[in-house]
C-alpha cells in the first residue's frame, strides 16, 4: 500500500486511527492486510481482541511442473461466511463458530519455490496423500513455463519468494503472487491448454479484486480489461453451453464495470439466446443461474445510470 493509495480515502485512515487507539503501526498493519475497507471484525482482529480459532491449515503437495514438494496454507472453507462481488470473487469474509476472519483469496494462490510456478488452482498441486485429480501438464508446456521463469523472477526483485507465500499473508504479497500466477497462465494459454483462458481470467479477476481492496482502481480496471479479453476468447472457443454461460456472464460483468455498454449489451443478448438452450435440457439447468445473475447485474446497472 503506497501513500498515494492511502491518500485516496483520508477519512477512512482517520477513523481507523481512532479505532486503533492512534497507533500508526496497527493502522499500517490493517491497511496492508485488509486494504481500504472498514470492518469492525478486521479492526477487532488487528486490535488484538480475542482472534478466535485458527481457520488456516498447512498442507504439503507436489509441483505439477517440476514435481518438487510444495508447502501451502489454506483457509478451511467452512470457517468463513463469504461475500462475493460480481466477478464471483470473495471481497469479505467473516469467521463463523468462533473462527478468526481471513479472506481466503489471499491464500488461494500457491507457488513452487524450486521452479517459481504459481497457480490459483490448488487442485494442480498433487497432494502427498490423496490422489491427483488434475490432468498432468504436457512436457512442452512445462518447458515453456521453465523458459518464462525469468519473467516471474522480475516480480521477486524486492520481495523474497517465501514471504509471498508465508502467513499471515498481506494484500501486497498476495497481489504479487497473483501477478506471477497470471504470467504462468499466459504461458499455458500460449500452448492452448484446455480451460486456460478461463483460468487466466479467473486469476485476473482475483488480482483485480485485491487491487480494488488496496484502493488501486486504475490497476484493477486494467486487469479487468485484460480479463474481458480472456473471457471473450474463452466464449468464442467453446461450443458447450455450460462453459459458454459463465464466460458470457463474466464478459458482461467486466464490460459493465468498464462502462462498455455495447459489449455488455452484446453478451446480454448472448445469454438470452443461451437461456433457451439451457432450459430445454434438464442436465443443463444448473447453468441457468448465469443468465439470471446477468439480468440482475444489467438491471441494477441501467437503473443506476
Ligand atoms: Zn516447481
Q: How far apart are CA 235 and CA 245, in angstroms?
A: 8
Q: How far is the CA of 117 from the centre of ligand 1 (A)?
A: 5
- Look-up of cell digits 506471477: 180
For 173-201, write each residue's pLDDT tens digit: 899 999 999 999 999 999 999 999 999 99
pLDDT top residue among 35 and 253: 253
Question: Using an 8 Å Cβ cutoff, are 248 and 270 in contact?
Answer: yes
pLDDT at 2 over 80: no
Closest by CA position to 33, among listed 157, 164, 174: 174
Considering all CA atoms of the chain, what is the largest pairwise distance in Å, rounded to the nearest integer?
61
pLDDT at 132 over 60: no
Q: How far is the CA of 70 from the centre of ligand 1 (A)?
A: 8
Q: How far is the CA of 190 from the centre of ligand 1 (A)?
A: 19
Q: Structural domain boundaries of the chain?
A: 1-50, 52-237, 238-305
Question: Using an 8 Å Cβ cutoff, are 199 and 185 in contact?
Answer: yes
Q: How far is the CA of 59 from the centre of ligand 1 (A)?
A: 16
Give, as residue ranges, everything with CB less than 5 Å from ion ligand 1: 63, 65-66, 112, 114-115, 117
Per-residue pLDDT, 133: 53
pTM (2 d.p.) = 0.84
Per-residue pLDDT, 89: 97
For 49-65, write each residue's pLDDT tens digit: 556 888 999 988 999 99
Amino acid at each position: 500500500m503506497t501513500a498515494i493509495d492511502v491518500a485516496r480515502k483520508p477519512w477512512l485512515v482517520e477513523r481507523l486511527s481512532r479505532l486503533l487507539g492512534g497507533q500508526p503501526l496497527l493502522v499500517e498493519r490493517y491497511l496492508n492486510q485488509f486494504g481500504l475497507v472498514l470492518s469492525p471484525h478486521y479492526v477487532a482482529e488487528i486490535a488484538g481482541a480475542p482472534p478466535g480459532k485458527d481457520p488456516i491449515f498447512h498442507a504439503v503437495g507436489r509441483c505439477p511442473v517440476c514435481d518438487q514438494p510444495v508447502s501451502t496454507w489454506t483457509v478451511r472453507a467452512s470457517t468463513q461466511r463469504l461475500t462475493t462481488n460480481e466477478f464471483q470473487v470473495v471481497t469479505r469474509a467473516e469467521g463463523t463458530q468462533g473462527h478468526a476472519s481471513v479472506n481466503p483469496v489471499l491464500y488461494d494462490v500457491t507457488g513452487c519455490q524450486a521452479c517459481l510456478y504459481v497457480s490459483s488452482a490448488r487442485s494442480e498441486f498433487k497432494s502427498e496423500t490423496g490422489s491427483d485429480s488434475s490432468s498432468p501438464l504436457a512436457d512442452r508446456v512445462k518447458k515453456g513455463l521453465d523458459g518464462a521463469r525469468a519473467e516471474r523472477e522480475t516480480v521477486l526483485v524486492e520481495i523474497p519468494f517465501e514471504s509471498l507465500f508465508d502467513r499471515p499473508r498481506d494484500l501486497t504479497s498476495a497481489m504479487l503472487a497473483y501477478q506471477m500466477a497470471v504470467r504462468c497462465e499466459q504461458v499455458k494459454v500460449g500452448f492452448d491448454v484446455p480451460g486456460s483462458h478461463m483460468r487466466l481470467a479467473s486469476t485476473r479477476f482475483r488480482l483485480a479484486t485485491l487491487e480494488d481492496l488496496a484502493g488501486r482502481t486504475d490497476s484493477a480496471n486494467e486487469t479487468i480489461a485484460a480479463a474481458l479479453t480472456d473471457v471473450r476468447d474463452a466464449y468464442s472457443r467453446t461450443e458447450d453451453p455450460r462453459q459458454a454461460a459463465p464466460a458470457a456472464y463474466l464478459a458482461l460483468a467486466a464490460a459493465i464495470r468498464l462502462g462498455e455498454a455495447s459489449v455488455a449489451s452484446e453478451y446480454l443478448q448472448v445469454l438470452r439466446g443461451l437461456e433457451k438452450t439451457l432450459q430445454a435440457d434438464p442436465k443443463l439447468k444448473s447453468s441457468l443461474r448465469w443468465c439470471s445473475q446477468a439480468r440482475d447485474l444489467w438491471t441494477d446497472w441501467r437503473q443506476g445510470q
